[in-house]
Each structure stands twice: as C-alpha cells, then as structure tokens.
Amino acid sequence: MKKRMLTMMIGAVGVIVVALAGWYVMFVHFGKGPAFPFVKVYAADIVDFEQTEIADNPLMALTETEEEAQGIAEQYGIDLVSFENGLALYQTNEDPFEVIARGEKNGYTKLSINFIRSAYDGDQIQRIYGE
C-alpha cells in the first residue's frame, strides 16, 4: 500500500512539473497563454515613444503585392521606396503623423510609422525596469 501511494505521489508531482514547464516554455518562448501569477509584468511608458527615432523611410504598410503598395503611394501622394515580403516602405517630405491623420480622415489604407528600436538600449531598459 505504501509503495502504491508513493508511486502515485511521484506521478502527481511529475505531472505538475511537466505542466508548469510546458506553461513556462509556451509563455516565455512563444508568447502564448497567461503569465504566471508571480511573474512581474512591465508596461511600456508612453515617454519611450517620444524619444524613439523615426527611420529614414518613415512610413510603412503591409500589402499583398507591389502593385497594391504602389496604389497606396498614389492614394496618399507619397513615394514607394521599397517592397519586400509584404512590407512596403514609403518616403514623404511631409510630417508622417499628418500623412497618417489625413489617411484616417479619408478612409485610406492604414499606414504606420517606421520607428527604429533597439533591444539593447540601456536607457530604455533602465526606464522600463527601473534598474
């Protein structure tokens, strides 16, 4: 009886360990599922966006074809710089935020700002994590 009880306890602990390890791998490595209750979650501060640099080609859009990307450029009155793997980059002499606002007002295809971000920016890490 003791041997059977010990085997059941070891099996239960093994199942729990495997479940927690799977949960950890899915959340940390694949970004799926809820976080552990004890994992501290950090929110990005809006100040980070004000200090983020905008790329040389400040506007971008996801499109299926290069022809669609060219149509968006004509719609907005901006220049298509490149199209690769469904990502179109655009150049404009106007303020990119004004171009996006004009597009939203007129119901055009959505454009986004092409920000330059670095995963190794020490100042941002310090602001986000408070280190």
What pLDDT score does 45 carry? 53
pLDDT mean for each 10 residues of the chain (131 residues): 88 91 75 60 52 74 92 92 91 89 90 72 49 44
| Inter-helix orientation angle 96-106/66-76, to 10° | 100
pLDDT value, residue 40: 57
* Sequential DSSP letters for 32-99: -SPPPTTS------THHHHTPEEEEEEEEEE-SSHHHHHHHHHHHT-EEEEEETTEEEEE-SS-HHHH
